[in-house]
Amino acid sequence: MDSKKNAKKIIKRAKPEKSKEEPLVLQTLRGMKDILPSDQPYWEQVRRISERLSRDYGFLRLDTPIVEFSNLFTRSIGEGTDIVEKEMYTFITRGGDKVALRPELTAGNCRSFIQNGMNVLSKPVKIFSTGPVYRYDRPQEGRYREHFQVNFDAFGEQDPILDAQMIQIAHRIIQTLGIKSVQMQVNSIGCQVCRKDYKELLVNYLESKKSKLCQDCKRRMDTNPLRVLDCKEDKCSQVAALAPQSVDHLCEECRTHFKTLLEYLDELDLPYIINPHLVRGLDYYTKTVFEIWSSAEEGKKLSLGGGGRYDKLIKMMGGEDTPAIGFAFGVERVIAEMKRVQAKPYKIPRPKVFLAQLGNLAKKKSLRLFSELEKNGILTAESFGRGSLKSQLRIANKLGVEFTLILGQKESLDGTVIVKNMTTGAQETVSMDKLVDLIKKKLKADNVVVYHN
């Protein structure tokens, strides 16, 4: 009997210890930030102007994924570049795919061009894109680990008139945003043919000055010697100042291309200088390279963006031989410059009408009324949830509206609305079905804010 009781004994398992929860950190990661409502007018201005000009110049919108296979970037951008060596967010998915957060937009656009057969479209194929990009290395001034770019690409045309148009668009956007003191810096780094001889000449010169170079530039001599010319270290800049210049060693085709581009820029009256040390940081560039510079404080120059030709990138990635050119600018850096020069942000339309409601029935009716006003393009403010008419009128005064629509229990039952002129204080009661037409007349045509078609 005892043995049966023992057999029925339930062995209690030890309860597993609860894992300690990590403290919740209420701040953004280093190099990332919130875009607060107070800054949104500047962002809206950049979005509106860049999107409008993209349409004006015949560009089509393309959005590509933030996450791509990592070798898309290592092969197109170049394994010896700073982006690939130090700045990419790479990881392996649960399925074993090696992927990366995109560090720039052009490589993804080229992948999409090939994958979706855009080569059959009439040339040039003009693509506009914008969105966040990610770079892990220590954030630069005006740039974050998550930052936003606006990107223009044109595929299928090698005529230098496309180079001139790209530079024209970049200049037009920045000036339209209110940054008037702008300079375009241009250079030609040649093609694969003439650049080979130039690289040998440059490396021989840099070898003789190797002891004066920084550690990064000593490494770049083997991987990407042209980047030495773009180094911001003082001692490297002094070495670069006396280095052979790429424009002096161009083949006939590249020399003609660059000469013709400069003639187009002269015709456009665009302010530019030839910067022989301008090379850009990515391996895929050929021939034309350029940057957009603004005069910063104390006479310093600030780069807002740049681009150039990448005639062999599509073919290198597995597509047809397709010449291309593009440029991008950093939104955060442009907005910082807009603030510095006191450029005007987007002016958010202010409501001309305020809808006040009293009582539960009025709240129900006011939702439908607000919807009718919105459908007719009348920008209307409200403070649903506030019970006191006095507090609602105080908000209406603060917003500076021209009219307040008052809907109470009696008006809800009668199907009417009280229209109060906030300047004169005059009031009138009108039928709900005639309210929209009356408000449009009172506001006059130019005061009605139509914010959708």
pLDDT in tens, the chain (453 residues): 555 555 455 445 555 566 678 888 899 988 899 999 999 999 999 999 999 999 999 999 999 999 999 989 888 776 555 555 667 888 999 999 999 999 999 999 999 999 999 999 999 999 999 999 998 876 666 568 999 999 999 999 999 999 999 999 999 999 999 999 999 999 999 998 888 888 888 888 888 888 888 888 888 887 778 878 878 788 888 888 888 888 888 999 999 999 999 999 999 999 899 998 888 766 778 899 999 998 766 556 788 999 999 999 999 999 999 999 999 999 999 999 999 999 999 998 899 999 999 888 988 899 999 999 999 999 999 988 766 888 899 999 999 999 999 999 999 999 999 999 998 999 999 999 999 999 998 887 444 444 433
Burial class of residue 241, CB neighbours in 10 A (0-12, 13-18, 19+): exposed
Model pLDDT, residue 417: 94
Domain ranges of the chain: 40-191+251-340, 353-447
Q: Classify residue 385 as left (phi > 0), alpha (psi -120 to 50) or beta.
A: left
Question: 189 phi and psi, to 5 degrees?
Answer: -105, 10
The gap from C-alpha 19 to its chain's centroid, in whole angstroms, comes to: 41
Query: What does pTM read for this prediction?
Result: 0.84
Distance CA 340, CA 335 (A): 9
Q: Half-sphere exposure of residue 194, counting CA atoms within 13 Å on the CB side?
A: 17
Distance CA 215, CA 210 (A): 10
H runs (alpha helix) in 342-416: 360-375, 389-399, 409-414
- Token look-up 């996450």 returns 67
Distance CA 298, CA 412 (A): 64
Fold held by 40-191+251-340: BirA Bifunctional Protein; domain 2 (3.30.930)
H runs (alpha helix) in 140-287: 160-176, 192-208, 215-223, 234-241, 252-268
Distance CA 438, CA 162 (A): 52
Pairing of strands 403-407, 416-421: antiparallel
Model pLDDT, residue 445: 45
**Dihedral, 147, 151, 155, 157 alpha carbons, nearest 10:** -130
Tell me which H or E stretch contains 435.
helix 432-443
- Token look-up 């061009």 returns 113
Distance CA 127, CA 121 (A): 12
Helices 331-340 & 40-56, crossing angle to 10 degrees? 110
* Beta carbons of 345 and 44 less than 8 angstroms apart: yes
Distance CA 410, CA 417 (A): 9
- CATH second-level architecture of 353-447? 3-Layer(aba) Sandwich (3.40)
